[in-house]
């Protein structure tokens, strides 16, 4: 092993670890021993393996730690690096340092970081949010439904339904069939409410689902429909949001995004503003296009099975869209702050109708559901 005892001599400063005195010193390293020479003191020798060398930091003096708490610092980075390579110390962190000193590596790191971040935002957060939504216990969901309904009632979003008791009973009975088909073990219930009960937050003709299985439909939507099949198409769509937990996943996703933003931009957004944003995200949210399509597919399956056609949902979607464009002269309804605003202002109604038509065509070609 003792082939060529290349020794390395380093000039630097020595601290004995017992006082803060800095003393000029020379450290000589060969493969077996280290020798420290300090002016006015006897030379000190140590076996090589008892020495430590601290990981390199760009632009900072290199430090060799000596037995007994002493410390030798030198600007001779090349010398220390050569010794590190020869003895195989700090391999990983020397590699990190090599990356840190090159601009191309920094650019690559930037690319990797942005890529990882983009992947996390695009796939990681939605997947985690979906898992979290499915993992959320049903009791929590029920509480969540109850509290949201209270908020909506208090905020004059809707009032008690003006439909006759008989009409309400019919609709609820029909919904029970939809709910039984939808499954998932949720305690489904249909709430009929007047969406124009005087408040400025009126929902108009609308329907939405809450994560615990509560589905709300307004009198105005009931009035807009020409048949109950249309309404059941809408309600089946809503059960699709429940069974896929779109609502809660959306909330978790917004939370995750807000968290990422906070981490990136530093502490400017305090935890307070962060918490305040949660109810807003909940109420404004709406669903993504993908979630709408998924719920449409659920509804389409139900209608194909029950009615043999997806036409009812198509017609009511088209009518809602038409009503909206006719009413665009009175912006109070179109641009009002509607919550869970899935049917009305969601873009892409023609695409959704098209998709339902395709489902129907496919369903007829292959009658096995």
Partner 1 sequence: MTDPATLPPGTFLMGQHAQSAPPEHQPPALATVTEYPVSFTGEAGEYFRLWIVNIALTFVTLGLYLPWARVRNRQYFYGHSWVDGQNFEYRANPAALLRGYLLVAALFVAYAVSGQFDRTKWIAAVLAVVYAAAYPLLVRQSMRFQAVNTVHRGLRFRFHGTTGGAYVAYLLTNLVASISFGLALPWAWYMQRRYQGEGLAYGSARATFRGDVGPFYLIGLTALGLTVAGGVVIGVPLFALAAALIGNLDDVDPTNLLSSIPFVAAAVAGYLAVLILYVVAWQYVRGATMAYVLNNMELGGVVRTRATFSPWRLVWISVTNSAARVLTLGLASPWTAVRQTRYVLGGITVRAIAPLDNFAAGVGGEASAFGEAATELLDIQVGF
In whole angstroms, the minimum distance from the beta carbon of 42 to partner 1 comes to: 19
Instruction: Give the CA distances from residue 280 to residues 79, 134, 135, 261, 285, in Å, rounded to whole numbers and listed in that order.
Output: 60, 22, 23, 17, 8
Tally of residues, the chain? 369
Residue 324 to residue 179: CA distance in whole angstroms = 29
Question: What part of residues 161-190 is at the interface with partner 1 (CB under 8 A)?
Answer: none
Shortest Cβ distance from residue 58 to partner 1 (Å)?
Answer: 5
Q: Which of left, alpha, beta for 8 (phi over 0: left; psi -120 to 50: alpha)?
A: beta
Q: Which is nearer to partner 1, 28 or 201 (CB)?
A: 201
C-alpha closest to that of 192 among 205, 211, 201, 180: 205
Give whichever of 95 and 183 is closer to partner 1, judged by the CB atom.
95
Task: Please name the residue that has the structure tokens 């609502």.
Answer: 247
Q: Which of residues 59-98 bind partner 1 (CB under 8 A)?
A: 59-61, 63, 69-71, 93, 96
User: What ranges in 25-164 are assigned the alpha helix state H?
Assistant: 77-87, 91-100, 103-119, 125-135, 138-154
Q: Which of 48, 78, 109, 361 binds partner 1 (CB under 8 A)?
A: 109
Distances (CA, A) of 304 to 195, 229, 294: 30, 12, 15
Q: Smallest distance, Å, CB 17 to partner 1?
A: 5
Q: Tell me the closest approach of the beta carbon of residue 367 to partner 1, in angstroms.
A: 44
Which of 169, 200 has the CB closer to partner 1? 200
Q: Which is nearer to partner 1, 24 or 308 (CB)?
A: 24
Tell which positions 305-334 bind partner 1, by CB under 8 A.
331-332
CB of 360 to partner 1, least distance (A): 36
Question: Minimum distance from CB of 23 to partner 1 (Å)?
Answer: 9
CB of 15 to partner 1, least distance (A): 3
Residues of span 259-288 touching partner 1 by CB under 8 A: 264-266, 268-270, 273
Q: For partner 1, which is the closer residue by CB, 272 or 367? A: 272
* CA atoms within 13 A of residue 303's CA, in its CB half-sphere: 28
Find residue 194's DSSP bridge partners: 159
Residues between 134 and 163 with contacts to partner 1, criterion CB under 8 A: 136-137, 139-140
Cβ pair 338, 206 in contact under 8 A: yes
Which of 3, 4, 5, 20 contacts partner 1 by CB under 8 A? 20
Place of tokens 């009812």: 312
Q: Is 88 left (phi over 0), alpha (psi -120 to 50) or beta?
A: left
Count the alpha carbons within 13 Å of 27 in the hemisphere toward its beta carbon: 29
Phi-psi label, residue 308: left if phi above 0, alpha if psi -120 to 50, beta otherwise = left
Using CB under 8 A, pick the residue from 48, 78, 99, 362 that binds partner 1. Answer: 99
What is the layout of strands, in order, in the sheet containing 189-194? 159-160, 189-194, 214-218, 207-209
- The bridge status of strand 52-53 relative to strand 62-65 is antiparallel
**CB burial string 144-156: b at 16+ within 10 A, e below:** bbeebbeebeeee
Interacting residues with partner 1 between 218 and 247 (CB under 8 A): none
The stretch near partner 1 (CB under 8 A) out of 113-121, 213-221, 246-254, 298-306 is 113-121
Q: Counting contacts by CB under 8 A, is residue 118 touching partner 1? A: no
Among 30, 76, 77, 100, binds partner 1 (CB under 8 A): 100
Q: Which stretch, 83-91, 133-141, 154-162, 232-240, contacts partner 1 (CB under 8 A)?
A: 133-141
Contact residues toward partner 1 (CB under 8 A) are 13, 15-22, 54-55, 57-61, 63, 69-71, 93, 96, 99-103, 105-106, 108-110, 112-113, 116-117, 136-137, 139-140, 200-201, 264-266, 268-270, 273, 331-332, 335-337
């Amino acid at each position: 092993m003792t082939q060529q005892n290349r020794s390395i001599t380093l000039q630097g400063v020595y601290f004995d670890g017992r006082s803060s005195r800095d003393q000029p010193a020379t450290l000589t390293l060969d493969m077996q021993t280290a020798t420290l020479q300090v002016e006015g003191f006897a030379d000190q020798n140590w076996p090589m393996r008892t020495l430590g060398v601290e990981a390199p930091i760009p632009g900072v003096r290199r430090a060799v730690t000596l037995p007994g708490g002493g410390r030798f610092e030198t600007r001779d980075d090349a010398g220390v690096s050569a010794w590190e390579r020869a003895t195989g110390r700090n391999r990983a962190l020397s590699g990190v340092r090599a990356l840190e000193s090159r601009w191309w590596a920094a650019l690559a790191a930037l690319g990797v970081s942005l890529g990882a971040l983009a992947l996390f935002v695009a796939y990681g957060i939605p997947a985690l949010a979906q898992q979290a939504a499915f993992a959320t216990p049903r009791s929590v969901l029920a509480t969540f439904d109850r509290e949201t309904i209270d908020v909506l009632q208090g905020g004059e979003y809707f009032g008690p339904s003006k439909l006759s008791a008989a009409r309400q009973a019919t609709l609820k009975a029909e919904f029970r069939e939809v709910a039984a088909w939808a499954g998932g073990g949720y305690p489904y219930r249909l709430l009929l409410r007047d969406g124009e009960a005087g408040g400025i937050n009126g929902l108009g003709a609308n329907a939405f689902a809450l994560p615990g299985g509560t589905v709300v439909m307004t009198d105005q939507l009931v009035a807009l429909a020409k048949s109950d099949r249309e309404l059941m198409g809408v309600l089946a769509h809503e059960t699709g949001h429940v069974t896929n937990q779109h609502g809660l996943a959306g909330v978790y996703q917004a939370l995750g995004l807000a968290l990422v933003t906070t981490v990136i931009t530093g502490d400017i957004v305090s935890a307070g503003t962060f918490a305040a944003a949660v109810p807003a995200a909940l109420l404004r949210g709406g669903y993504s296009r993908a979630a709408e399509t998924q719920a449409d597919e659920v509804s389409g399956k139900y209608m194909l099975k029950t009615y043999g056609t997806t036409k009812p949902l198509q017609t009511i979607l088209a009518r809602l869209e038409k009503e909206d464009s006719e009413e665009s002269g009175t912006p109070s309804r179109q641009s009002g702050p509607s919550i869970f605003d899935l049917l009305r202002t969601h873009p892409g109604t023609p695409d959704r109708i098209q998709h339902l038509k395709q489902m129907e065509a496919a369903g007829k070609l292959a009658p096995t559901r």
